[in-house]
Structure 1
């Protein structure tokens, strides 16, 4: 027997979008690094317009921008969850947080590399 909660409804789908947008709003309001990434993304997009990059280059820029945001969102989620699970100092939790931060660092390095490959030849 199907539970009322498990039924597909348009209203429930709209609520799920509302929850996702609430998460995004919280991310950009509360997380300092989110705003730094947002400024960097805006800068990359402005430069992309200025340099009149190709469609393929736009795809690369948007892809790395989104990868950085996804990594930062997951990092923020892991940190918040870890703080709830283990509010006291815990070496294993610290390692988990450090590894989540490393994922963001790798994504940011990828974004810088892609930006350099696309922008530097056009600028110099």
Structure 2
């Protein structure tokens, strides 16, 4: 594969992100949740450390969803028909997204919930 320029690599990365957003329902769901959570964090005026924890958790979910999509597409390319190992690979990748999402929920509860409770 020929060496890519920095801008070419950046363009390819955006193309991958755009593909995930436009073709993957779960990516759109995670992205919508991320926008809501980050907006809430901004409105609550969390500390820089708290904001960093939430941003990391949100980014972790989005990256996991992108890796899941990459695994699914690679498996589909390699094995167009049903194969139990292909099914297992897809399930494992989906499980990684679940772990990331659970991490984000726990982070949200630990970081955001006390600020919301303080409002009431």
- TM-score, normalised via structure 2 length: 0.92
Separation in structure 2 between the aligned mates of residue 71 and residue 13 of structure 1, nearest angstrom: 24
Q: Which runs of 4+ in 1 moved over 2 A?
A: none
List alignment gaps of at least 5 residues for structure 1: none
Count of residue correspondences? 116
Match of 1:90 among 80, 83, 88: 83
Equivalence for 1:112: 105
Q: 2:60 maps to which residue?
A: 67
The worse-fitting range, judged by mean Cα deviation, of 16-25 and 103-112 is 16-25
Partner of 1:122: 115
- Of 96, 99, 102, the residue aligned with 1:103 is 96
Pairing partner for 1:81 from 74, 79, 83: 74
RMSD: 1.2
Query: Structure 1, residues 32-57: CA drift from partner, whole Å, max 9, x if none?
Result: 11110111101111110221111000
**Cα shift at 1:18:** 1.1
Name the structure 1 match of 2:42: 49
Matched with 1:30 is 23
Which has the larger Rg? 1
